[in-house]
Amino acid sequence: MLKSYFGRLPNGKEIYSYAVSNGAISLTVLDYGGIIQSLKYCGNDVVLGYNTIGEYLDNDGYLGAIVGRYANRISGGSFRLNKKTYRLFKNDGGNTLHGGAGGFSGVVWDVTGDDASITLKYLSPDREEGFPGNLLTGVKYYLTENGVGIEYTALCDKDTVVNLTNHSYFNLIGGETIENHFLLIDADYFTPVNSALVPTGELRPVSGTVFDFRCAKSIGRDIEENDPQLKIAGGYDHNFVLRKDGFRKVAELSSAKAGIEMDVYTDRPGMQLYTGNFLTGRMGKNGKKIMKRGGVCFETQSYPDSVNHPEFPSTELKAGEMYHTVTEYRFHKY
């Protein structure tokens, strides 16, 4: 693992980047936010990012970051657990998004590593952002022969709730939006949202809708359709109910122009498909603009706002129990 100086936070703290490579795959991660700053497959950088820490501090879309303790929205910024109501910091209108104002995307992680992996640790104190319990969180990025894996662990001294993911924006070709990328998602249902982008609780069949990715189609094919769910979000920004359980392939993204396919594997029940609808065209690394729909996120997780939906898979973590989940992004040429 190669450690390099990356920049400085306003409080003077030095931020470092950590890089590992096996020839086919090169990965660079920051201790700030656990951000994947660069992921190269056969020399092609397939994630959006910035060159400087200042640009990351502006937080224009959680680029490459670990999001937690609780990915996506928690309705009303509150939830009940063990007959107690917990109130969180509301950083998205009346709701909490991606763990609150100082979520895991904005903390500096402790880093160790070896030739093929980078391991980050963070101890989130009891009541940080309002969540119960001291939560010891680990994120291990590891290289595989043709991809990168992310192993999340967490252990808490109180009963709590956890939903961790990574917010990388993928673009297999670069220099254009992802609308020409083809996408397949192994999901028969998705979770429709209200006007604040919080799931209503319904599981709606994708069949006959613009959300049907069971046969690969281009992301752009239906994205401008006059569909109320697309209109709310300005594109795709929805959780898909993934078929089957256990560690399995759930999605395929490909770019014919790049000749590259990326397969997403996970053990999670859901995946937020977010097509970068809120990106604003700021300049990113390597002189490339981070334009609207310039990247696509596959945020493997439990369904958003599960804490307020007993009918969704549970995100509760009992005191002393180990939270453990794995997601892999695997690449090949085609």
Which part of the chain contacts ligand BGC (CB under 6 A), choosing from 80-88, 149-157, 271-279, 325-333?
271-279
Beta-strand pair 169-170/296-301 = antiparallel
Q: Is 245 left (phi over 0), alpha (psi -120 to 50) or beta?
A: beta
Q: Under the criterion CB under 6 A, does residue 56 sit at the interface with ligand BGC?
A: no
Which part of the chain contacts ligand BGC (CB under 6 A), choosing from 9-17, 80-88, 175-183, 272-280?
272-280
User: Among this protein's residues, is 299 annotated catalytic?
Assistant: yes
Q: Name the token pair of 161.
A: 């709730």
Q: For the window 172-201, what string marks contact with ligand BGC as x by the rule CB under 6 A?
A: -------------------------x----
Query: Coil, strand, or helix at residue 76?
Result: helix
CB of 300 to ligand BGC, least distance (A): 11
For ligand BGC, the closer of residues 260 and 264 by Cβ is: 264
With beta carbons less than 8 A apart as the criterion, state whether 214 and 206 touch: yes
Of 55, 129, 299, 328, the active-site residue reads: 299
The residue nearest ligand BGC at its CB is 61
For ligand BGC, the closer of residues 156 and 198 by Cβ is: 198
Q: Under the criterion CB under 6 A, does residue 263 sit at the interface with ligand BGC?
A: no
What is the C-alpha to C-alpha distance for residues 271 and 294, in angstroms, rounded to an integer? 19
**Helices marked H in the chain:** 53-57, 228-233
For ligand BGC, the closer of residues 203 and 233 by Cβ is: 233
Among 34, 61, 77, 132, binds ligand BGC (CB under 6 A): 61
User: Among this protein's residues, is 238 annotated catalytic?
Assistant: no
Q: Determine the length of the chain.
A: 334
Which part of the chain contacts ligand BGC (CB under 6 A), choosing from 2-10, 176-184, 249-257, 270-278?
270-278
- Show contacts with ligand BGC in window 283-322 (CB under 6 A): 299
Q: Under the criterion CB under 6 A, does residue 72 sit at the interface with ligand BGC?
A: yes
Residue of 145, 120, 112, 83 whose CA lies nearest to 3: 112
What is the C-alpha to C-alpha distance for residues 290 and 279, in angstroms, rounded to an integer? 7
For ligand BGC, how many residues bind (rule: CB under 6 A)? 9
What is the C-alpha to C-alpha distance for residues 136 and 83, in angstroms, rounded to an integer? 24
Of 167, 181, 238, 309, the active-site residue reads: 167
- DSSP per residue over 131-163, as a string? --S-EEEEEEEEEETTEEEEEEEEEESS-EE-B
Q: Around 221, how many Cα atoms within 13 Å sit in the side-chain half-sphere?
A: 14
Helix, strand, coil content of the chain in percent (nearest 5): 10, 45, 45
Q: For the window 12-31, what string marks contact with ligand BGC as x by the rule CB under 6 A?
A: --------------------
**Catalytically active residues, by annotation:** 167, 299
Binding footprint of ligand BGC on the chain (CB under 6 A): 61-62, 72, 197, 237, 272, 274, 278, 299
